Structure 1
């Protein structure tokens, strides 16, 4: 690359809006080139940027039909005060909606866990006399016809079985089933289980 071409490319890079010049709250701060911009990505997250701009486009079309918004495309209005105000508004609304959905999902997870805990405790009481091998065979039966190994929440009594063995990955490992994505079997958990088995076997020798 020649010195002239390099300088031109650097100048374009220096003066373009920074990908980190806009935070999630809609606050505006100057980028490296010294200009204030309000439209660029939330800390480089293009997905968030796209979600907010989709909302802006919808409102912009409605406002332009009513004649209460400047004419032109969204791209041509970037940098204007009108666009900055819209961006702040929809960034705030988007954040509030995501927080509300997260809270609702959190409440659902807590309620689901309480229900499963009560259900699996009752199941565990009626299967407390089952041997480890019987429980593992039960887990194998739960996986029949399935493309993936069952998750703890997908098995009736899953919480009881997990607590009995120490971890759900260990249950799948001992049952001869493949671990699900992002599951890891702790060597310490396996070692503790084998040690418990040896202690139990020694008591009955």
Structure 2
């Protein structure tokens, strides 16, 4: 799964890298501790143009009467995304890319303490997570745009930390995932290459969703 991540790329860099027009309400970066329900950067493709927008991380199905009307859906499993009622239409028609500099996962020691790891690209400054998005509105008219990160079974390189990992989309496949290059995006929902990501232990202070600062991603030996 993916329950926390970091992004340090400035908006200007994301605009250039993805060839996307920026919205006016983008979240602040850098952010070393992006949590569920936070606003995240996402790249959408609509009517032949890419946009860099802000989405709430936590997909809200259309039948929810409020964002808390059911489970908080921050991840969508690749194995069931095409059939699960909450996600299947978005998986067909509303896919997005969610840039991340890295993400966090946790293991436990023999005493049950949570040990955080930071997982990041071995080369380059970021990866693009596969995502799905949806506009939602309440019966009273409150509206928001929401998203979930697509996950799959972890590859061997990361399986000792967690059994799930985000689906990452390589640059040559961005157009296919966004629906610009026709059909067949389902083939992209697989674990990334074994040498794509590296991991190191980080300070347990990141266990708090209030923790901030670049030290959260620094290697930790304690």
- Give the TM-score range, shorter chain: under 0.3
Q: TM-score normalised to the size of structure 2?
A: 0.18
Higher relative contact order (CA 8 A, sep 6+): 2
Q: TM-score normalised to the size of structure 1?
A: 0.19
- The structure richer in strand per residue is 2
Answer with 1 or 2: which has the greater Rg. 1
- The structure richer in helix per residue is 1
